[in-house]
Amino acid sequence: MQRSRKPRPFVGSLVAGIAMLLPLAALAIHEISAPSLILPSGEVDDAGQRSAGLFFLAAPFLYVVAVLLCFAAGQLFRRSGLRRLWQYVGVAALISLLIAAPVARAASHPEKFGWSDTLIAFLAIGSVLFACSALGAACWWWFAVQPTDFRGEHYT
């Protein structure tokens, strides 16, 4: 017999904020460790290292925003009747795809470069957003919903 725990939405929001930023931190660490490119003009292209530094500089502010977003979205999901992990991850996937579509369209200029670049941008942006939102949703579910429901039954 498992002992039920008390749901902890605030702790879930703190952990989910960290989990949401982990894929972005991994990308930033990869950019820092990657070698700099040398352009044909002889200049060093260090845009990746500069963007990674900017991410780490903005990380505390991004964490606060992620915690607030996780808390608000988690409470909204919970109050709307979502109780299972796959429901949380499914809604996170839907939201990430809905955000990725206009961002990819704006980032790729399909009229100028073609729709294949838009598709690549959509897949790249959607994958990163899904990784971030799915990890955040799973962590929030684990701490705030999974322990028990109102009848004392465990959800999986």
Rg of the chain in Å (alpha carbons): 19
E strand or H helix at 38, and its extent? strand 37-38
**Cα separation, 69 vs 56, whole angstroms:** 19
Tokens of 153: 């039954």
Is pLDDT of 133 > 90?
A: yes
**Percent of the chain having pLDDT more than 70?**
90
Those residues with Cβ within 8 angstroms of residue 76's Cβ, 6 or more apart along the chain or in another chain: none
pLDDT classification of 146: cutoffs 50, 70, 90: confident
Tokens of 130: 């899904």
Please tell me the least confidently modeled range out of 17-21, 52-56, 126-130, 152-156: 152-156
pLDDT classification of 151: cutoffs 50, 70, 90: low
Environment class of residue 58 by beta-carbon count within 10 Å: exposed (0-12), middle (13-18) or buried (19+)?
A: exposed
Model pLDDT, residue 148: 55
Model pLDDT, residue 52: 94
Q: Does the predicted model carry a pTM greater than 0.95?
A: no
**Cα separation, 32 vs 26, whole angstroms:** 10
Is pLDDT of 35 > 60?
A: yes
Is pLDDT of 99 > 70?
A: yes
* Cβ neighbours around 90 below 10 Å, total: 14
Q: How far apart are the first and last CA of the chain?
A: 15
